[in-house]
Structure formats: structure tokens, C-alpha cells
Structure 1
Amino acid sequence: MAVNITPIVMPKWGLEMREGTVQDWLVAEGERIQVGQALVDVDTDKISNAVEATDAGLLRRIVAQSGETLPVKALLGVLAETEVSDAEVEAYIAAFEVPAADSDDADTGPAFDYAEVDGIRVRYARRGPESGTPVLFIHGFGGDLNNWLFNLDAVAEKHPVIALDLPAHGQSTVKLAGTTLKAQAAFVGQFMDVIGVPSAHLVGHSMGGGVAAQIAVDAPDKAASLALIDSAGFGDEVNADYTDGFVRADSRRELKPVAELLFADTALVSRQLLDDLLKYKRLDGVSEALGALGTQLFGGGRQSEQPGRALGSFGKPVLVIWGSDDQVIPGSHAKAAPAEAKVELLDGAGHMPQMERANEVNALLRQHLNP
């Protein structure tokens, strides 16, 4: 008879994660685990997050100890019922082999694709099944598709997922498609046409939320639904200390207090996160592009365009998520969401809840996409 043992393994968060460092276990051996329960905190070179249980069962062994750095899919722990003997558990652990790194996701093709859109080379990623209406993730000002590293695979379990680097962001061409939300929305619409996506569930964060809302206003047929996270476009105020400070900062010392405005837990601003941002900002033309974009959209600490206020006639599902401790765009702006929208304020989260409170955001996205 087959022995019923379920492994808990190091997850792969994002398209570039190769390993993680085990921090604190949040459960103990002998504890009964429920699906979705937070099991252990893991640090990556981007940010830390809690590993969630994908299966229910009895936690028989904690294998990975605090401080250990392990590759993706390495064994962290083991679930097994009491009828499974200790000897069988130990034999399973001893025989467990981590899949070779080069075979990981071998059947999914390259991690990134590129599309030529109006003279701009756009980096994007696809995950999940091939059929169904895709979910298109649109990042914010100064960000890139890695802002969704904790969310893409969670949504891709049931839906085709696409995430792009906006023009002059990430690894897309350092050339703006315009400095307004309207121009960026038109560009994303062109991108969808080029890659053969007539309509998508749009998920936007910050400036990307404003872009998604603008698409819903200008080209509603392209938006099957909206999920807007700490979104621009719902009110006047925006923190110029962040928008201007991000453009000006050219050293780790200058950038650190600016990046800390993104998170309620400032410990999440790691050296690696700062180095990644600085590497991007030092690309030729990036500072000028961000300066032009920031001045147009957020000059003087005011938002120049507010498409979120025009969503009353959209008529399709709208989810609005906000971190209650957002220091960049006030959570009070969520009050301007359309009356039919589902609005969720996450206590203790800042401007990046999709990273800081990923498990809760993913649960809300799954509910939104599977009503």
C-alpha cells in the first residue's frame, strides 16, 4: 500500500527566484494544518513572505531549520497522518530529491517574452493555462513585473496570467509612450492587440491602477473586470516625497527612506531591493523618463488624472484593495470607488499590499476572478 506523505517545499515566488532562506516556523510539529495556513516565513533576495499550506494534514516533521538557504522545491517539512510510521517518514525525507534547477518549468517555455509595440520593445511574462480570459497585471510608477512576484503563480493556478513592463520600466525600451494615464492606457491596449488578447481581467497597482481604470473608461471592451490596488486615479493627493524623491535619489542612502514609504514594515526594504532599484534608475534615459512622467502625473503632490472616479458606468466587477497605512496614496481615496465595487482595506499594510500581504491579496483576487 502506498504511504500517504505530502511534502511542503520551498515555493517559487516570481519568475527569477532560485532559492530562499528559512526564517521562523509559524506552526509546530504535531499541529494539524489547514489549506491556506501560514507555515513558515521565507526570505528571498526581493522580500520576505510566508509559505502557505497547499494541502491539509498533520505536520509530522519540520525538515528545514531557521537560517538555512535552500533551492526552490527543496523539502521544508512533511505532512502525514498518525498511521504513517516514524520510520516511513524518515525514509521519505532521506529519499527526497530536489528537482534539477534546469528542469524547473521546462514545459512552460522561456520565463519572458518580448513584443514590439509602436517602436517600443516590451518585456512580458505569461503563466498558467492557455485557455480562458487572461489576467493582465500592470505595475506602478518606477516598478516592473517583479512587483507581482508573489501573485502571478497564485492566480495562474486557474487563469492565464500576463504581466508586462510598461514603457521606460523594467526591461522594456527606455522610451515613454506618453506621460498621461490616457496615453499609457492606449499603449497597453495596443500591447494587448499585438499579443492577441482582445479582453483581459485588469489588475493594476498604483499608477498601473490608474492605467487600468483609464482602459475601462476609454476601451471598456478590453476590460473584463478591474482589480485596483492602492490605485492612482481616485483622488487628488499623492505623496511628493515619494514621487519626487524616487526620481531624485541616486544612492542607496538617498533611496532607502523613499523606498521605506512603500511599506508599513520598513524592514522589508532590503539591500537587494535598493540595489535592484538603483540598477534600473542608472540606465540611460530612465531618470529623464521618470522625471517627465512624475511631473505630468503627480507634479506638486497632486494627481492630474482621475479615471477611477469615472467608473460608475463600467458595469463589470470592480475590486478595490488598499493598505490602511499607505503613505503614498491615502486609503481614504477608496471611498471614491464605484458604488458596486468590492472595497477591502488591509490593516497594517502600506502601499505595496500585493507584496506585504500577498496571501490576503491573492485570496481576494481569486474570489474576484471566481465569483
Structure 2
Amino acid sequence: MPVEVILPKVDMDMESGQISRWYAKDGDSVSKGQLLFEIETDKAAMEVDAPSSGILRDVKPQGAVVPVGQAVAWIYGEGEVYNAAAPAKEQAEKPVVAEEAKSAVQPAETAPVKPAPVAPETNGVRATPLARRIAREAGIDLSSLKGSGPKGRIQKKDVEGGFAVTAPVVARPSAPARSPVVQDSDAPLHAVWLRQGNGSGRAPLVLIHGFGSDLNSWRPMLGGGTLDNPILAIDLPGHGGSTHTIPDELDGIATQVEQTIAAHYSGPIILVGHSFGGAIATEIAARSNLDIRALTLIAPAGLGPEINGAFLSGFVRARTEASLVAWMKQLVPDESLLTKPFINATLAQSQDVALRDAQQLVADRFFADGTQVFGIRQSLGKLTIPVRVIFGAADRVIPAVHATGLPGEIAVHVFAGTGHMPQLEQREKIMRILREVSQSAG
């Protein structure tokens, strides 16, 4: 009779588990002890072996949540009749005649469960299956994380704190030098190559984050598609791993970012800036000190005086998860986008008093009295490179109406039902735009 493959209990509190992956499909021939499927619980990801040899049938679909002890599939012995119309349980309960008994499979065994083996990524990173899935969905590069498990294995908790961990700087992409390249140690700001590119020769994208964030905030966007370009991300002063000393003028921050880019790369680039970072990117493009081929601005600051001053003030003051999340909800209409890694990383920054003091100074200096005291429209009007401006129609931090009245040659994209984080809320579409920008920039 067919052997029942049950969902095992892998911890004391477990009542059900989700089938996250099958390593065999319905109708496959499997061997006893063969890796059969993977389950996930709130605490762990485990892999389960086949309890017997035979043909796999009546497989529960991937993604199904199954109570502990319930069958997820059945294994039929070689030559054993399978009736797809009848549930396997009924077939197993049918009397076995003498002729059949000679070749009948032994009574059902409990499928053995074992901890998921160390499964290397293509880059050799050791991580649990659950950690790999969370990292993939969050756009986190596992090689940027330090594992807390046996032999440095990356676990779920390591990924959930992964936004606060900076990836190591990889070798800078090669390109024909247009000016001498200084050493990385001369860069005034912290920067990381998030992607090395695929050798296509396309210009690197340089990403500049917004107020209260850091370079890791770009990682989820990168999980929404692929780009051929190398990608360099920079921490603004008062953010991430950069200096806490804040220049008096926007021009001073632009100078620091320029010097940081030059320290990592010499050649044509594409600038991408979000929010406050959008204003900085525009100033850099207008200065014409670097070979900038295109500019993409996501919910950029500096197009009008209005800004959500209460958000800026409340965000900087928040120290607990509850108070911080209350303000983070202003960023996106869909609160499910505020993932645990995103929240944990932002919370970790809130505990750094010196960092938050520096950000308060940024707010006081550039958004005094809840007003944007600088403007970038004049700088935008001087640009001759391709420019894209992206807003969310439901932005509660910087109103999307600021996108009106821009020069006609600037392409404007406004996404309905989207807030202040289009790169997170519409990441596949933003990645498509960036691919188009990259292709047009040559």
C-alpha cells in the first residue's frame, strides 16, 4: 500500500508548516532517504527526506500550509496501482489480497527530518533556505552578511538585521580613465559597490539615498529585476557609515559626493537620487565636474517649499520600534512593505544618538520650520542630459504636485497609489525605467 509522507513536527510549538519547495514532482521516482521537500515555520527552515522508495503522488502544492501530521504526499511502490480519482488514504485502507501482499510496501513510516544542510549560493555563501528566501525578497546580498550559525552559516535573524550591515567594497569596475583616480581612502563619504555588473561596459549607476536612510535602502529595489550596470551607493553625511559633520550648504554636500565618486570610479556615470538625495544629485549634475550621462530623480526634494515637517521631526525623535513604525507608515500606503529587515535597520540607526543628532542638524539646516529652504528647478533647467522625475501620487512627505511645471524635455512619471518610496513600492517598474535610462545613455 502507498506510504504516507507526513509533515513532521520540528519544534515544540509547531502546529503547521509551509511547503516552501519540492525537490521532486508528482509522478517522479524517488528513493528512500532522498531529499524530498522543504518546509518553513516561524522559527526554522527544514528539509525532509523520502520515507521510502517508489513513485511520488498526490503532492500538496508548493506554498501550502499543512497541519503537523497531515499527509503532504504519498509514495507508491513499483507496480502498485495508482487511482488518481481516489484519495491515496482510501487506497491505503483497502484490504490487501494475498497476491498483492507479497509485494506490498511496509506500513507507512514517518518521514525523517533533519536540519537543512549548508547550501552554498553561487558565490559560496553558507545560509539556511529560509535566510536565502528572505534575503532574495528583500534584495539583500548574502555575501554582505555575517552568519551567526555554525561555521558562519547565515540564519533568518542575520538577514533581518541585514540592512544595517554594509557589504564589503569590491573591486572597482574598469573603465577608460578620464581623470586620475584617487585612492578609496581619500573618499570623504562611505560608499559600497552593491553590484559589479555583467561586463557589458555600461556606465555605473550611482545611487544617493534620502533623508534618514542609508545606502542599504536601495537593496530591496535591486531585488525587483536585473541591471547590466555596476552599482555604487553612497551614504550622505550624517547617514550610515559617513561622517557626522554636516556642510553648511547643499553645494558642500555635492562636493563630498563628487569626491567620493571620483575615489571609486573614473568615467561616465548615471546618477540616481531619492528625496534629499535627488536634490544632491541634481546639484552634482549641474556642476558638470563629472561625466554624467543621465539623471533619474525619485520623489526629489527641492522642487517646492512644502514638506511634511512633522514626519521629519517625529522620525528623528523616535527611539522605540512602535514610535518609529508609526512615522514610517507615512512613507508608504501599503504598510506590508515595511518589512522586518527594513524596520530593524532603521531602528538600529535610531539608537545611534550621534547619528540622529547629525540628522536633526540636516533637518534644521535644509528643512527649517518644515520648509524646503533650497531649490533645484533652476539647476534642472540648465541640464542638457536626459532627466527622469518619478513621484508617487500618494506621497505624504513631498507632494507629487511638485513635478508640475518642469521643462518639457524632462520625462515625468507619476504612479497612482504610491507614496514616497516608488523604488520600493514599484520596484519592477523603477528597474525597467533605469534599464531604459541606461540603454539610452549608452
Instruction: Say yes or no: TM over 0.5.
Output: yes
Q: Distance in 2 between matches of 1:112 and 1:282?
A: 23
Superposed, 1:202-241 pairs within 5 Å as: 202-219=271-288, 221-241=290-310
Matching of residue 195 in structure 1 with residue 271 in structure 2: no
Matching of residue 169 in structure 1 with residue 188 in structure 2: no
Matching of residue 146 in structure 1 with residue 219 in structure 2: no
Matching of residue 112 in structure 1 with residue 168 in structure 2: yes
Superposed, 1:249-288 pairs within 5 Å as: 249-288=318-357
Name the amino acid aligned to 1:175. Answer: H
Name the amino acid aligned to 2:428. Answer: N
Matching of residue 334 in structure 1 with residue 353 in structure 2: no
Query: What is the Cα deviation at residue 123 of structure 1?
Result: 4.4
Is the Cα–Cα contact under 8 Å of residues 241 and 258 in structure 1 kept in the other structure?
no
Name the amino acid aligned to 1:168. Answer: G
Matching of residue 65 in structure 1 with residue 63 in structure 2: yes
- Which moved further from structure 2: 147-156 or 315-324? 147-156
Alpha-carbon RMSD: 3.0
Query: What is the Cα deviation at residue 163 of structure 1?
Result: 1.4
* Structure 2, gaps ≥5 residues long: 1-17, 21-58, 67-115, 126-141, 145-166, 171-183
Partner of 1:347: 416
Query: What is the Cα deviation at residue 265 of structure 1?
Result: 1.0
Q: 1:159 aligns with which of 229, 232, 239?
A: 229
Query: What is the Cα deviation at residue 361 of structure 1?
Result: 1.1
Is the Cα–Cα contact under 8 Å of residues 213 and 308 in structure 1 kept in the other structure?
no
Name the amino acid aligned to 1:149. Answer: R
Q: Distance in 1 between matches of 2:121 and 2:248?
A: 40
Change in Cα spacing, 1:179 to 1:356, as seen in structure 2 (3 Å) is: farther
Change in Cα spacing, 1:356 to 1:205, as seen in structure 2 (3 Å) is: same
Name the amino acid aligned to 1:166. Answer: L
Change in Cα spacing, 1:208 to 1:281, as seen in structure 2 (3 Å) is: same
Secondary structure at 2:63 match in 1: coil
Query: What is the Cα deviation at residue 229 of structure 1?
Result: 0.3
Residues 267-315 of structure 1, C-alpha deviations (whole Å, 9 max, x = no match): 3234543332121121241111001011111121211111244211210
Is the Cα–Cα contact under 8 Å of residues 227 and 435 in structure 2 kept in the other structure?
no
TM-score (norm 2): 0.58
Partner of 1:132: 202
Query: What is the Cα deviation at residue 186 of structure 1?
Result: 0.9
Change in Cα spacing, 1:67 to 1:165, as seen in structure 2 (3 Å) is: farther
Is the Cα–Cα contact under 8 Å of residues 227 and 319 in structure 1 kept in the other structure?
yes
- Which protein shows a greater Rg? 2
Is the Cα–Cα contact under 8 Å of residues 168 and 174 in structure 1 kept in the other structure?
yes
* Aligned-residue identity in percent: 29
Is the Cα–Cα contact under 8 Å of residues 321 and 344 in structure 1 kept in the other structure?
yes
Query: What is the Cα deviation at residue 369 of structure 1?
Result: 1.9
Q: 2:374 aligns with which of 281, 301, 305?
A: 305
Secondary structure at 1:339 match in 2: coil
Is the Cα–Cα contact under 8 Å of residues 113 and 123 in structure 1 kept in the other structure?
yes
Richer in strand (by share): 1
Is the Cα–Cα contact under 8 Å of residues 307 and 371 in structure 2 kept in the other structure?
yes
TM-score (norm 1): 0.68
Name the amino acid aligned to 2:314. Answer: G
Secondary structure at 1:261 match in 2: coil
Q: Distance in 1 between matches of 2:243 and 2:265?
A: 24
Name the amino acid aligned to 2:214. Answer: D
Secondary structure at 1:304 match in 2: coil
Name the amino acid aligned to 2:302. Answer: G
Query: What is the Cα deviation at residue 204 of structure 1?
Result: 0.5
Change in Cα spacing, 1:126 to 1:340, as seen in structure 2 (3 Å) is: same
Name the amino acid aligned to 2:119. Answer: A
Name the amino acid aligned to 2:335. Answer: T
Partner of 2:387: 318
